Amino acid sequence: MISDYFEYIFDTFIELKGDRKSGEDKSVPGGLAYINGQKIAVIGFQGIVSDGVTKYPEPEGYRKSIRLMTLAETFNKPVLIFTDIPEIDNSVSTEKQKMLEPTVHALECMLNLKVPIISVIMGMNNNSLTLDLCASDRIIMYDGASCILNIAGYDLSKNKEIIQNISISSDELVKMNIVDRVVKYLPDDLKSNGKLLKDVIIDELNDLFKTNPSALVEQRFNKLQSKFLSLKSVYNQMKNHL
């Protein structure tokens, strides 16, 4: 769970619950924290696996994330987003499709925030939604981790749609200028991994504080556009081989 890392990353963490409309989504932990004396808003997007199926964040979870991002901007505090949504199945499920609208609303909020945003990809085998939720100034990922693209095609011989998983490693994502920094991962060492992440987050925050808020938004849009074009190129190349 994402929250297992919090005691090793933050000086203090205060959880905030609910979207102030319909309820709490346990897939989206979040709240306020201090890291190296700096107050920040913290949001986690995590997939909960049950019986081989990934349960994605619900609409109330996305509304909660927007609530926290808006709060951070009001008080001029940076936002730290953790994502851990594992790739279990490659089907285009109804659950994935129904989350499209709330996901877009959350991304729109991220893109327009005039405060620094850092995304940390926590998982080792990540669903494509993990990258979609990284409309950030910096993206950090573990060494040896990967993200899975679901490439849809059509098998004429079998007269049916097929979906193929394509894995892209953290090193490849760095070369594509999608991920900014890779952090060493130590198996079964939660405390050390948390402290390594803390040092990198502090370093990136200090760098982002030097950037004008308006410039942050423009750079974020450019980064998202570059990410989209890079992934589209990979998608098209692989689709031609299906």
Burial track 57-76 (b if 16+ CB lie within 10 A, e otherwise): bbbbbbbbbbbbbeebbeee
User: What confidence score (pLDDT) does residue 167 get?
Assistant: 83
Q: Which residues pair with 120 in a beta bridge?
A: 82, 140
Each residue's pLDDT tens digit, 194-219: 999 999 999 999 999 999 988 999 99
Domains detected in the chain: 2-239 (3.90.226.10)
Q: Which residues pair with 140 in a beta bridge?
A: 120, 181
User: What confidence score (pLDDT) does residue 154 get?
Assistant: 46
User: What confidence score (pLDDT) does residue 17 get?
Assistant: 86
- Check: pTM over 0.75? Answer yes or no: yes
User: What confidence score (pLDDT) does residue 156 get?
Assistant: 46
* Regions of the chain where pLDDT drops below 50: 92, 154-156
Say if CB 24 and CB 51 are below 8 A apart: no
